[in-house]
Structure 1
Amino acid sequence: MWRNYLTVGIRALAKNKTYAFINIFGLAIGMAACLMILLYVRYEMSYDKWIPDAERIYQVQSWYKSSETGEETFLQMTPWASGAAIQKDFPQVESQVYLFNNNPVFLKNGEATSSEDFLFTDGNFLATVPLPLKRGDANALGQVNTVVLTESEARRLYGTDDVVGQTLTMITRGITRDFRITGILQDLPKNTHFKTTGIARLDYPGYNFDTPDVLTCWGCQNGHIYLKLKPGADPQAVEAGFPAWEKRNIPDQNSGEARFNAGDDQDWHIVNVEDVHLGKAQAGAMSVGNDRTTIVTFAIIAVLILGMAVVNFTNLATARASQRAREVALRKVLGATRRQLIMQFIGESIIVSVVAMLIALAMVELAIRPFAAFLEADLSISYFGTGGILIPVLLLVTIVGVFGGLYPAFFLSRFQPASVLKANKSSAETPGTGRLRNALVIAQFAVSIGLIICTAIIYGQTVYARTVDPGYNRDNILQVEELSRYQLIDKGEAIAERAKRVPGVVAAGRTTIGVATDNNNNTGFMVPGNPEPITIGNYQVDEGFFDAMGITLAAGRWFQEARPMDDMTLPYPPEDESQRAMAQRGGNIVVNELATQRLGFKSPADAVGKTLKAALVDNEIGLVPVTIIGVVKDSRFRSVKLPLDPIMFTNWNSGHTHLIVRYNGDPKAVRAGIEQMWKGITTDVPFKAEYSDDIIGELYEAEDARAQTFAAFALLAVIVACLGLFGLAAFTAERRTKEIGIRKVMGARSRDIVRLLAWQFSKPVIIANLIAWPIAWWAMRDWLNTFDARIDLGPGPFVLAAVLALTIAIGTIAGHAFKVARSNPINALRYE
């Protein structure tokens, strides 16, 4: 019996090659897309699960909600002071450790090199987070001034990873330190939020000997704290204890007439390391995380594309029901039960599913490497063992086969032999299937149209993000980093002046904020009549920053070198005497337009000349009177996802982090000239610079990838939908051959026939638009709301998707329509 079923199924496919191709190829596309996306989803969900005891390891995060604006910021970083306080107050904590990045300079054979991903710790980090070691043991960081390197970093620095026992010399905060290499880390897999080339342990309080306030500051986020809870400890109990813990540990601070507490706008949370990558806190992260909503969306799209392929099978099977009605009737006459017929048709569906899966696996094998490279993910296929996909593949084949064949099986098996075998009934239209097919076609095109709309909007927002006016002239900027090194603390002015003399350089200025920099520094302003401080961003610049960045002045003036009150430079480290002098004399500042609004001024001109008080020195000393001498247009220095910052600029002569160089002419020649100048001043700090266009490109890489991925999904969905529509058009044209012949005899023209068939398949597409539009509008509205600056959700993408879908649908059936319309009616009306 089973052999007969198999033979009949293969013959049915071979007899209708178009039907077989559409079903198998459509299912193969759907299965391949589903497998690849689910591999990616599984990879994204696997972050840090490979770490031993990962279920007990947590990252402490600081989440902010501004009491002034209601804006929320979720930081993975947290103050150093909170680590010891947590371990003291929570007996559930087995150990805690602090991890931070300071980009040290390595010295080797008199040449300086650096690594952005090199980390420092204040304790035995590997005892809390047991990263895998190739050489050494878990006590490799048990002592101060020890270091572990990754295999790749050891080979980069020494040419081999057999370097345990050697000394690594590095410069941190201007001090040369020697560290003994005590271990070699295995190169970490990509599916981890720990991005590092090495970890060094040092005495953190001694490291900050010149800035002891860092050790007691509850509003300073410079690193990450990790906890390991005791076995059986309840993390929810720790979370529940944080509000009371904040009140016990965080002191009130007073600055003149202002009183504030670092816990007012800040809450502490612990997040398991397995959830950090897809968590809501992505600011201040070691590596770029991902959005859980995006991952879930990809998984849903994968299922939808597969569902569309299954819909094709169901549609075409019911459309061809009349051609197999006589076969069913004869089987029933010969004694076949309905249960046997159902098993036969489901078996045929599983055969199609198996063949489609084999093709899909071949597609995945060919596409997985470029797909992984595009997403920068470590994706691979294995069929057996842990992580093998054999069982999921078998389940997918079974589910698709059963669900794809279930309705056709029940539908075909219910035919009555008497009604089918009389008067050539088998050639007639099978009743009751038209509505289902139309509904399924509508569903297919609703998905396709929705994806086209989403793709258009995501692409539009991505282009907008790259091209929106940031409030400064973003063209022809070379941004030089590493200016904050202690080795350069007294050389910044010389670097800026020499940079101005490099051929092609138009202007150069120093700053602590630039194109997509991570620096965040805020201070409080006291406004008359408001007992609470107003938080404004505080960034140091020099006189050349204005021209170098290309900022527009809205009112007043910029800093001038000849005016002593414009210079608010304090020595480093700041001395009490100098701070008192600053609090006594005050200084001049420039703010942006948003800052004037936050401070309560009606217009930029209204703010110029006004004097306020700001917390620019130690709280015990008091507030500094500052006079606004100028207001600049708002500038968007960061991503369009983030809100604009209210900013105060102060003019300092040192302590800057970046050099902004505006140039004309050949960018490479200018960069080479700046680099040569740099190396003439320092050999202890590597030269590092990026063009503004490259920085913006890196800033929006994730959005670009999302736009291209959605475009690929939309294309696959359209292909699958068109395959189904092509098959339905072919069978519809075949069934209506006699009707069309009669119409032509009665005088219908070819274009009338084409219009008739085109309209039949256009109606479901029009209805699909009405379904897809509100769903896509709702989804894209929520997505666009995650951006501070965004495009308008206008009718353009929706009309584009509708026209495109109709064009594709009509183009798909046009060949059949013209072929049937131009056929000779004699061939259609001759006696069968």
Structure 2
Amino acid sequence: MLKNFIKIAFKGLLKNKAFTIINILGLAIGLATCLLIMFYVIDELSYDRFNTKADRIYRVNMDLKYGGNVSSFAITPPPLAATLKSSFPEVERSARLIHDAGVRIKKGDEFIQEEKVVYADSELFGVFTLPLLDGDAKTALTAPMTAVITESTAKRYFKDNHAVGRTLTLSNNTTYKITGVIKDIPSQSHFNFDFFLSIAGRPDASSTDWNNFSYTTYILFKPGTNLQQFQNKLAGLMKTQLGENFARLEKSGGYFHLNMTALTDIHLKSNRQYELGTNSDSSYVYIFGAIALFVLLIACINFMNMSTARSANRAREVGVRKVLGSSRGYLIAQFLSESILLTIGAAVIAVLAAWALLPLFNQVAGKHLSITIQTLTWLLPALVIIVLVVGVLAGSYPAFYLSAFQPINVLKGKIASGFKGGKLRNFLVIFQFAISIFLIIGTIVVYNQLNYIQHKDLGFNRNQVLVVKNVDVLPNTKLFKQQVKQLAGVKSASLSGFLPTGVVRQPDAVFRNRTPDPKNALYTEIWPVDDDYLPTMGMGLAKGRNFSGALASDSLGVVINETAARMLGILNDPLDKKVYRPSAQPNQPLKEFHVIGVVKDFNFSSLRANITPVVMMLTDDKGALSIKMNAQNPAAFIAQVEHMWTNLAPNQHFEYSFMDQDFDAAYRTEQRTGTLFLTFTTLAVIIACLGLFSLAAYAAEQRNKEIGIRKVLGASVSAIVSMLSKDFIKLVIISFVIAAPLACLAMYKWLQGFAYRQSIQWWVIVAAGIGAVAIAFITISAQSFKAAMSNPVDSLKNE
């Protein structure tokens, strides 16, 4: 029986080659798109799940309201981890990480800047699953000046791969003994470091200062822990440890809260300050999951539409079979067999296409996806389920619809044919084009927002700014700056690692008077800069003046941004107003500073966030040298700067970037999302158009005689094209009316995630509607024009 079903199905599909090709192509594109998105979504959802105890690992966070500012941090005080383990019976283990700036490590004759460096507790391996290939996990990081490195790092620094027992030399001449080599950390981890240095060697490792926030703290709970009860205990812990400071903070209207984030939620649900890596957003997973479902639905709808549209062509076949004794159940099984067989063909093509496109998809999405044995363990069962569900879903309506024909009506020619006869088919066309229009509007909005980000006036000029990194390793940074300033094409140069596109920040408090009370505080960022900083960055002054190296008094002056002036209540008359900071010496009165200028607000973090206060001070900082240049040949200019660097520090690696590239990197996730959105929307529209093209062909075929009669009676080609197209265009217009408000609502909510955003402009909606109608008309008119140009004799000769 099954063999007979398959044999008949093959004959039926080969008999209608055009129908088969279009259907398989549409389903294959839909399934391939769905597979690629599934790879993406599963990868996003799998972060940190390689840890065998992932369900019991949590990170402790800190929420702080101080001086009018609300901040969310992924860091906590140094003594928290030990206190939680010793005082809370629910905690099985705790571990700390602290990630400062990168370090320079000697490799051969030069020092290489390594950014993937973190200081870690010896408890790290008891909390996380980081298998050691060499060394003892229990003792690897217990001693000071010891280090554990990854397998690939060991190969990079030691060609014979025998790293344990050897040493790493840092640029400050300190050495670390390698006590362990771990497997490379999977890419699906919220942190990914190559070097784990022992925290025991840090002077702040044993600090008991609960007002110092610098360590990332993880805890491993014992099985069966009541998390809500533990969370309630955290509030009491900080109140006890901070004492009077906590009381003063609450009295001033502020707060200090500790809370937890599950390890498996960090990547998608946490975007706090001082994260150990760049996290994603769960909304993108939902969006792409919905797109995958929509694309698959459109492909299924195409199959249903085309199968029911050609019902007239198979009506006599059904009638004859019923007369010869075929039961309805037999016919349903036959049509479902055809549907499933076609779906299997599409699935095979889809898998091959997804496999071939995976490298390109990885490049666009910034992923490292691959099809492995582990992938096949879920992919093959998923494909079987998809084939059965899609095959049955796509073929169910045609099967039941065609098998219900009464043979007497069929053989008398009383079965209604043509486009107007299918109400369900019309509904499905509306549904699939509503999805397509929804995606078109969404894509335009995303593109406009990303374009707005790229070209928004940020309050500084990031173009033509070369950033030379880690200049603190030079023996004389000021000499290097002066030499660079003498090069042709250099407008100015500034020594400071605190850049508008950077992530290194120094949050602190300034006070409105000499009383260090939270009521008088402004929690702000403190940026050490030199007198060339503002002109190099192209920042404008709203009031006052810039720093002057010739004025010794400017060492006690500050330049603040407009937001800081507004929150201090001095925006209208800021000059010579006083602000106060804690002295570097303990138990000393607050130090007085006077405001000499107000810089216009500039964006220095994500455009998702509002501008926060900044206080600039004339203080040495050797993190980077920013060079404002006007070089006609950037490559030659960089070579000149590198030559100067090599003369001053021949063994130090020269590293640079351009500020506009650093800015773009901050929005790489959004850019990749926009590209993927555009790609998948294009595929969805193509699949919808394939279905519409096939429907138009069958509609024209079923009205073949009507077209012939109209031509004989003098109808023009344009009139016939209009007649055949108007029914489809009406459906597309209805789709637009349904989809436009839904798309506007969804994209409005997406844009709310940006503090600085474009509104959804009216022309976006109009353009999407016109575009959808134009695409549909072009798709339909190709078949309509062909039908209108046909010879009426061919369609009427059998009459």
Fold agreement, TM-score > 0.5: yes
- 1:497-522 per-residue CA deviation (whole Å, 9 max, x = no partner) reads 33323343221112342131112223
Structure 1 position 770, deviation (Å): 1.3
Q: Return the alpha-carbon distance in structure 2 between the equivalents of residues 784 and 66 of structure 1.
A: 28
Query: How is 1:815-830 mapped onto 2 (pairs within 5 angstroms)?
Result: 815-830=782-797
Q: Does 1:169 align with 2:169?
A: yes
Check whether the contact 2:103–2:170 (CA below 8 A) recurs between aligned residues: yes
1:260 deviates by 7.4
Cα contact 1:523–1:616 (8 A) shared by 2: no
Equivalent runs, 1:289-438 vs 2, <5 Å: 289-382=279-372, 387-422=377-412, 424-426=413-415, 428-429=416-417, 433-438=421-426
8 A Cα contact 2:438 2:740, kept in partner: yes
State the SS of the aligned residue for 2:790. coil
Q: State the partner residue of 1:660.
A: 626
Classify the secondary structure of the residue corresponding to 1:531.
helix
Residue 425 of structure 1: SS of its match in structure 2? coil
Name 1:597's counterpart in structure 2.
Answer: 566
1:379 shift after superposition: 1.7
Tell me, yes or no, if the aligned pair for 2:50 and 2:129 is still in contact at 8 Å.
Answer: no
In structure 2, how many angstroms separate the alpha carbons of the residues matched to 1:781 and 1:162?
56
CA deviations on 1:663-699 (whole Å, 9 max, x unpaired) are: 1213233333333333444467543221112212322
How far apart are 1:383 and its partner, in Å? 6.3
Match of 1:767 in 2: 734
Conserved 8 A contact 1:541-1:656: no
Alpha carbons of structure 1 residues 648 and 593: separation in structure 2 relative to 1, 3 Å:
same
SS at match of 1:203: helix
1:124-156 deviations in whole A, cap 9, x for unaligned?
Answer: 422222302222232222333221111221122
Aligned position for 1:507: 492
SS of alignment partner, residue 502 of structure 2: coil
Q: Which residue of the other structure, out of 522, 528, 547, is the alignment partner of 1:540?
A: 528
Q: Is 269-278 or 587-596 further displaced after alignment?
A: 269-278
Cα separation, partners in 2 of 1:555 and 1:495, compared to 1, 3 Å? same
Q: Determine the structure 1 residue equivalent to 2:93.
A: 95
What code does the residue aligned with 1:701 have? Answer: R
1:239 to 231, 244, 251: 231
Query: Which of 182, 199, 202 is the matching residue for 2:196?
Result: 199
Tell me which amino acid in the other structure corresponds to 2:522: I
Say whether the 8 Å CA contact 2:700–2:784 is kept in structure 1.
yes
Unaligned runs of 5+ in 1: 568-586
Q: Which deviates the most, 467-476 or 508-517? A: 508-517
- The answer to whether the Cα contact below 8 Å between 1:39 and 1:379 also exists between their aligned partners in 2 is yes
Map 1:119-138 to 2 at 5 A: 119-138=118-137
CA distance in structure 1 between the partners assigned to 2:495 and 2:444 by the alignment: 40
AA partner of residue 315 (structure 1): N
Aligned residue for 2:203, secondary structure, equals helix
Shift of 1:385: 7.9
Aligned partners of 2:236, 2:685: CA distance in 1, in Å? 56
* Aligned residue identity for 2:51: I
1:266 Cα deviation (Å)?
Answer: 4.0
Judge conservation of contact 1:167–1:178 (CA < 8 Å) in 2.
yes
Q: Is the 8 A contact 2:67 2:518 kept in 1?
A: no
Secondary structure of 1:659's partner? strand
Contact map agreement 1:78 1:225 (CA 8 A) in 2: yes
Distance in 2, matches of 1:205 and 1:385, equals: 42
Match of 2:84 in 1: 86
1:249 lines up with 2:248 in the alignment: no
Aligned-partner Cα distance in 2 for 1:510–1:404: 65
Distance in 1 (alpha carbons) for counterparts of 2:362 and 2:791 = 53
SS of residue matched to 2:48 = coil
The aligned residue for residue 189 of structure 1 is: 186
Match of 1:466 in 2: 454
Amino acid at match of 1:190: S
CA distance in 1, matches of 2:169, 2:48: 31
Q: Please say if residues 382 and 388 of structure 1, whose CA atoms lie closer than 8 Å, have aligned partners that are also in contact.
A: no
Call closer, same or farther: CA 1:619–1:179 in 2, change over 3 Å: closer
Q: CA-to-partner distance for each residue in 1:422-464, whole Å, 9 max, x for gaps?
A: 2x335x4179852211111111111111111111121221122
Tell me, in whole angstroms, the C-alpha distance in 2 between the residues paired with 1:352 and 1:414: 22
2:67–2:519: 8 Å Cα contact kept in structure 1? Answer: no
Cα offset for 1:615? 4.4
Match of 2:692 in 1: 725
SS at 1:87 equivalent: helix
Identity of aligned residues (%): 34
| Cα shift at 1:110 | 4.8
**CA shift digits 1:46-76 (9 cap, x unpaired):** 122122322222222224567736x5x5433
- Deviation, 1:180, is 1.8
The 8 Å contact of residues 474 and 692 in structure 1, kept in 2 or not, is answered as yes
Equivalent position SS for 2:41: helix
Partners of 1:67 and 1:202 in 2: how far apart? 32
Aligned residue in 2 for 1:576: none
**Aligned residue number for residue 49 of structure 2:** 49
> 1: distance between equivalents of 2:522 and 2:673?
37
Q: Would the aligned equivalents of 1:507 and 1:662 in 2 still touch at CA under 8 Å?
A: yes
2:209 alignment counterpart: 216
**CA spacing shift, 1:163–1:515, aligned 2, 3 Å:** same
1:464-523 Cα offsets, whole Å, 9 max, x none, are 21221111122211122224x5x66x9443443333233432211123421311122233
Instruction: Provide the C-alpha distance between the structure 1 equivalents of 2:604 and 2:739, rounded to a whole number of angstroms.
Output: 37
Q: Please name the residue that 2:31 is paired with.
A: 31
- Deviation, structure 1 residue 32: 0.9
Deviation of the 1:712 alpha carbon: 0.8
TM-score, normalization: structure 2?
0.93
Is it true that 1:115 corresponds to 2:114 in the alignment?
yes
Note the C-alpha offset of 1:306.
Answer: 0.8
Give the Cα–Cα distance (whole angstroms) in 2 for the partners of residues 353 and 609 of structure 1: 76
Cα distance in 2 between the residues matched to 1:625 and 1:78: 29
Map of 1:286 onto structure 2? 276
The gaps in structure 2 that reach 5 residues or longer are none
Output the amino acid matched with 1:555.
K
- Distance (Å, rounded) in 2 between the aligned partners of 1:471 and 1:376: 30
Q: Distance in 1 between matches of 2:256 and 2:469?
A: 30
Which secondary structure state, in structure 2, belongs to the residue aligned with residue 278 of structure 1?
A: helix
Q: Could you tell me how far apart the structure 2 residues matched to 1:522 and 1:169 are?
A: 31
Of residues 110-119 and 469-478 in structure 1, the stretch that sits farther from structure 2 once superposed is 110-119
What does the per-residue CA deviation read over 1:296-351, in whole Å, with 9 as the maximum and x for residues that have no partner?
Answer: 21111111101101001111111112222222223333333322222222122111
| 1:714 corresponds to 2:681 | yes
CA distance in 1, matches of 2:786, 2:757: 48
**Which 10-residue stretch deviates more, 380-389 or 159-168?**
380-389
Q: Is contact 2:67–2:522 with CA below 8 Å preserved after alignment? A: no
Question: Aligned with 1:206: secondary structure?
Answer: coil
Which amino acid counterpart does residue 230 of structure 2 have in structure 1? V
Give the TM-score normalised by structure 1. Answer: 0.90
1:165: how far off? 1.2
Aligned-residue offset at 1:203 = 2.1
Once the two structures are superposed, what CA deviation does each residue of 1:385-408 show, in whole Å capped at 9, x if it has no partner? 874411111001000001111111
Q: Report how far residue 527 of structure 1 moved.
A: 4.1
Partner of 2:493: helix, strand, or coil? strand
User: 1:628-643, aligned counterparts within 5 Å?
Assistant: 628-643=595-610
Query: How far apart in 1 are the matches of 2:694 and 2:246?
Result: 77
Q: Which residue of structure 1 lines up, in the alignment, with residue 61 of structure 2?
A: 61
Q: Which residue of 450, 462, 472 corresponds with 2:438?
A: 450
Cα distance change, pair 75–824 in 1 and its aligned pair in 2 (3 A): same
2:28 partner letter: A
Displacement of 1:384 after TM fit? 7.2
Q: Does the CA-based 8 Å contact 1:525-1:535 persist in structure 2?
A: yes
Aligned residues: 793
State the distance in 2 between where 1:776 and 1:619 align: 58
Question: Offset at 1:545?
Answer: 0.9
RMSD: 2.7
Are the structure 2 counterparts of residues 215 and 491 from structure 1 closer, same or farther at C-alpha, using a change threshold of 3 Å?
farther
Give the 3-state SS of the residue equivalent to 2:519 in structure 1.
Answer: coil
Q: Which residue number in structure 1 is paired with residue 548 of structure 2? A: 560
Match of 1:476 in 2: 464
User: What does residue 581 of structure 1 align with?
Assistant: none
For 2:223 and 2:253, locate their aligned partners in 1 and report how far apart those are by CA, in whole Å.
Answer: 30
